[in-house]
A and B are shown apart, each in its own frame.
Chain A
């Protein structure tokens, strides 16, 4: 039970954070004067009404980055418990385990690097 007890402040703080942001918006809603114009509620695009909606399929290049991120984030999380009880000075086999784990991880980066994921090549005729 007491481990749950430890996270009580986290829940309390997030609820208070929600209220804390709500308050100024409500105050501003009451205080501020109103304006009504024909184009007030149009989306802003440097003064010109936009062509086509903004909710469309956007660049594919970011999907590869998301994949690599997931692969790495999970690996790094494995390292946390290792770091927690990393005894100083004895049981050298811990270090060798860490070494090969990190090398495999680094392999993923060099593979992506070789594949040219990170180079944003220019796409034009010149």
Chain B
């Protein structure tokens, strides 16, 4: 570990990405930025996985490519990462589309404000006293009466 070879450097990079992504998930208030932090986190995890299948003196796992009989790198982590990348982007696209709807209904992306509005709306719907404190918005259920300047969400049918 003292000798700083490039694999070690790359491992540090992967762990750095994971740490930065995790910090972003906790620190950020803007939902969109949290999604971007998730992208960074996933990139770090994928990098770490591929690094685990790497060996120094090996070639890409394709037959008839590079010197014959040479050791090849482990194909399984690569397959796993392929799968993980596609799953990750599917989830991100899903999150973006829900985010668009939330922004249209509430006009904000701030996670704390959304949480407060959520508690308030739920309390109204359930018929219990809305939680005090925070900025409980006037206007009641957003679905029926949106904030000024904002159209209520379309019903799609």
A in complex with B: no
Where the two chains meet, the residues of B that have a C-beta atom closer than 8 Å to any C-beta of A are none
Where the two chains meet, the residues of A that have a C-beta atom closer than 8 Å to any C-beta of B are none
